[in-house]
Amino acid sequence: MTFKKNLALTAIALAAGTSAMAQTTTSSVTLYGVADSYVQFADSANRLTRVTSGGLAGSRIGFRGNEDLGGGLRGLFTIESGINLDDGTNGQGAFWGRQAFVGISSAGIGQVTLGRQYGGIYALTGDFSEFSNGNYGPSTSVIGGFGGYEPVRGSATSATLNGGPARVNNSVKVESASFGGLKVGALWGMGEVSGGTTRNRVADVWARYTAGPFDAMLSMVDDKAEAASLQVRTISGAAAYSFGPARVTAGVVSVDDKRVTDADGQGYWIGADYRSGAHLIKAQYVQNKAENVAEGKTQALGAGYQYDLSKRTAIYSSLTRFKNEGTGYGNRWATSLPANLTNASDRNITELALGVRHSF
């Protein structure tokens, strides 16, 4: 009897302990994604018609999770894979190429994460641009290409390769909580080269201030890969202000190339949008200008319309005119230029996009 009584009491105690742990410790894992594709018509020296992935947002599937560790601490992770809906291939050349990180957050203080992560310039050129930093319309991805360096699209010549400085491999990222509307962050991307702790790295710092209708952000990225004789510093700033249903946005990206090639350049944008119920109208002007290069300027002016069929599904369209002054740095589009679309006598491009986006 005594053995059976003790066994019963032990079972009750274990059950109570398990129940208490379930009540004090919570965790969750969320599956999410975006399916976005559009038909693109381009008219220049030659015409192009194609289906392309990721207009309003890059198509993706991802998992994010967190666990309450007690005392205001939480464990967290995100793994996210980009998808090209037009042909089913991967979007970034790596299966979890959009994001892949794990970390710890502390309530009221901030968080530390490790892995492949967005740098500050990704949020700056995405959140403050009417056409984000995607691959259609007058988006901020038009800015760059100076000496082959791509601060917005991601540059294979970066110290950490495969996407830096917009997405940075091998990185440690620290972000603060909001203190009176101000958030600050820093990221260190390691080149992982023996003997090159400081000679192969991406150093990234940023600050963002949000107060009511006003939102502004500053970013500085120093990207160095000694083996490739690369050192480029990018300083960026952007701001947005809302007037009820209307909003204006603007920003600038300045690239200081410290290599012998001295392929400096700047880009800026200004835009506005207006929302009325399910309808969203937007317009933006973008300029990209390479220094020390003749005919090194691209201008893009476009307007777009979006209709939200539901909270998850929207249809959209845009019409954009790209004016290119020259070849090389001065011959840009929101994505890589297809062969033979332009030629020496006809470099300008008129683009029409019609698409649909569903998020889940």
Domains of the chain: residue spans and CATH: 27-359 (2.40.160.10)
Give the pLDDT score at 19: 41
Max intra-chain CA distance, the chain: 99
Give the pLDDT score at 25: 60
Give the pLDDT score at 148: 87
Low-confidence ranges of the chain (pLDDT < 70): 1-25, 196, 227
Q: Which residues contact 27 (CB under 8 A, 6 or more apart)?
A: 65, 66, 67, 68
Give the pLDDT score at 13: 43
Is residue 63 within 8 A of residue 76, CB to CB? The reply is no
Instruction: Write down the pTM of the prediction.
Output: 0.89
> What length is written for the chain?
360
Give the pLDDT score at 20: 40
Give the pLDDT score at 220: 98
